[in-house]
């Protein structure tokens, strides 16, 4: 419970991955003290794993949106840069704050620094209150009958849903505060340097997105008005721009909470089980990360530690640039670079291609996604890459190797997705759009395609790559 107001000293609300006013328990608890508020965001310079370039671009725009929303409620967002503990100490010294509120984070580095900061503040008789503002359940909360954490998604989600349903009925999402009482004294501010200096990527990418709480709410409402009805099938078609909710960047920044998504989907009486299970995978990923702090660095399954990865900078670069010679893979990698996002079906295919066709370490792919995904999330990113690699919890078996052109023929039957992101192939007939190397010379010539010049030959032949991957896997297991 938060303390009653004892003086005119302000309370600090430390925003992190909760860049919203509604359903923000730390903010609401601070508001209820009736103290003046210092609403603070710190660009932490001592993070163990700093945000990637794409995430920083999103953050820049999201903070602008949050600042405006706070201003409209009478408050002010204070932006600072530096090590979190030092910045907090400086703000407390300047303001005389007697309380600090924040919503928890769950990666090991965040837990450690937050615990140290909390202990230091409490030693100085400064009130600290922390809350769950980003998950439906705490990562340690849903346990197996034996008392451990779930390592398989389906039984985990079944058990978690039994907790979430009644809890949501009793504790619906919080409304945004009606007003914010600002702390009147001017405090030192920093100009955050989040946008890239040498690329015009920011302007191009943001044409597809509306960062901020209002953008998140609009995107959810649009999805629930119609596309959710077709979600089970449409979510696998990458050319269908309304087939998925595209809420992931908003969710990762905390512009919308999973509680808000859950309630909106259920209140609309939608058949939302499949959609909400994707929220469940996010929850499950945080369970895995909490119990396996090195999930982005270390194989979850130790028997993968013997796997011999290839070092092939040229092939890796071709993959990052969408120049593998496999159109469905290349379309996905170019979509990522151009929009900061990639369709989930395609993510599995491009990840499988890197890991199993090229035999390049999954950690290299995870790092590339961390830098280029607007939604880069410490739990979902690492858990998903390990899932595809076969080294993770409840993972696809290693021998499940996605066929990079078979997937395209199934889920991009008319080639719309490939033509959008690999326009040099736009005049190739549907029959060959996923396998241009099979097209007769006259068809390639008519389409203006010269393999090896205007579009690359495949980096590796599929059957050979598959056999090589399976052989390498058996070797790693001593078979």
Query: Residues with catalytic annotation?
Result: 278, 281, 309, 344, 362, 385
Spatial separation of the C-alpha atoms in residues 415 and 413, rounded to whole Å: 6
Contact 398, 471 (CB under 8 A): no
Q: Which residues of 165-204 are buried (b: 16+ CB within 10 A; e: fewer)?
A: eeeeeeeebbebbeebbbbeeeeeeeebebeeeeeebbee
Nearest to 398, CA basis, from 459, 367, 370, 357: 357
Spatial separation of the C-alpha atoms in residues 220 and 212, rounded to whole Å: 12
Residue keyed to tokens 């954490």: 149
Collapsed DSSP state (helix, strand, coil) of residue 129: strand
At residue 339, φ and ψ (nearest 5 deg) are -120, -10
Rounded to 10°, the helix 327-339/313-320 angle is: 70
Spatial separation of the C-alpha atoms in residues 143 and 157, rounded to whole Å: 11
Q: How far lies 382's CA from each of 324, 367, 388, in Å?
A: 23, 9, 10
SS3 breakdown of the chain: % helix, strand, coil, rounded to 5? 50, 5, 45
DSSP character at residue 384 = H
Nearest to 140, CA basis, from 290, 306, 310, 299: 290
């Amino acid at each position: 419970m938060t303390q009653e107001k004892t003086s005119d000293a302000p309370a600090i609300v430390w925003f992190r991955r909760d860049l919203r006013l509604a359903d923000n328990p730390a903010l609401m608890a601070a508001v209820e003290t009736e103290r003046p508020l210092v609403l603070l965001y710190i660009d932490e310079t001592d993070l163990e794993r700093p945000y990637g370039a794409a995430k920083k671009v999103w953050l820049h725009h999201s903070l602008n949106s949050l600042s405006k929303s706070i201003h409209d409620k009478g408050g002010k967002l204070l932006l600072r840069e530096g090590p979190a503990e030092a910045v907090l100490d400086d703000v407390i010294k300047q303001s005389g704050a007697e309380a600090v509120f924040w919503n928890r984070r769950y990666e090991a580095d965040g837990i450690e620094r937050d615990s140290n900061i909390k202990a230091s503040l409490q030693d100085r008789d400064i009130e600290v209150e922390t809350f769950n503002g980003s998950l439906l359940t705490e990562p340690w909360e849903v346990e197996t009958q034996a008392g451990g954490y779930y390592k398989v998604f389906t039984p985990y989600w079944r058990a978690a849903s039994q907790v979430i349903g009644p809890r949501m009925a009793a504790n619906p999402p919080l409304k945004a505060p009606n007003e914010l009482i600002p702390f009147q004294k001017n405090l030192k501010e920093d100009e955050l340097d989040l946008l890239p200096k040498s690329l015009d990527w920011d302007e191009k990418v943001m044409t597809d997105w509306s960062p901020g709480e209002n953008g998140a709410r609009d995107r959810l409402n649009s999805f629930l008005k119609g596309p959710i009805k077709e979600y089970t099938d449409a979510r696998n078609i990458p050319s269908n721009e309304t087939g998925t909710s595209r809420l992931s960047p908003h969710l990762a920044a905390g512009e919308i909470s999973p509680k808000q998504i859950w309630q909106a989907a259920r209140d609309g009486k939608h058949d939302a089980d499949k959609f909400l299970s994707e929220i469940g995978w996010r929850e499950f990923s945080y369970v895995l990360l909490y119990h396996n702090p090195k999930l982005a660095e270390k194989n979850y399954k130790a028997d993968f530690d013997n796997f011999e990865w290839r070092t092939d900078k040229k092939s890796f670069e071709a993959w990052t640039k969408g120049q593998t010679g496999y159109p469905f893979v290349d379309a996905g990698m170019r979509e990522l670079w151009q929009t900061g996002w990639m369709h989930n079906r395609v993510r599995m295919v491009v990840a499988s291609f890197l890991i199993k066709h090229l035999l390049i370490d999954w950690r290299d792919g995870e790092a590339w996604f961390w830098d280029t995904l607007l939604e880069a999330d410490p739990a979902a990113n690492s858990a998903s890459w390990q899932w595809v690699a076969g080294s993770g919890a409840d993972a696809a078996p290693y021998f499940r190797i996605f066929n990079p052109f078979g997937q395209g023929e199934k889920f991009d039957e008319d080639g719309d997705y490939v033509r959008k992101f690999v326009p040099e192939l736009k005049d190739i007939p549907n029959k060959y759009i996923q396998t241009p190397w099979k097209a007769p010379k006259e068809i390639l010539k008519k389409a203006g395609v010269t393999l090896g010049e205007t579009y690359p030959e495949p980096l590796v032949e599929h059957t050979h790559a598959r056999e090589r991957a399976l052989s390498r896997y058996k070797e790693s297991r001593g078979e």
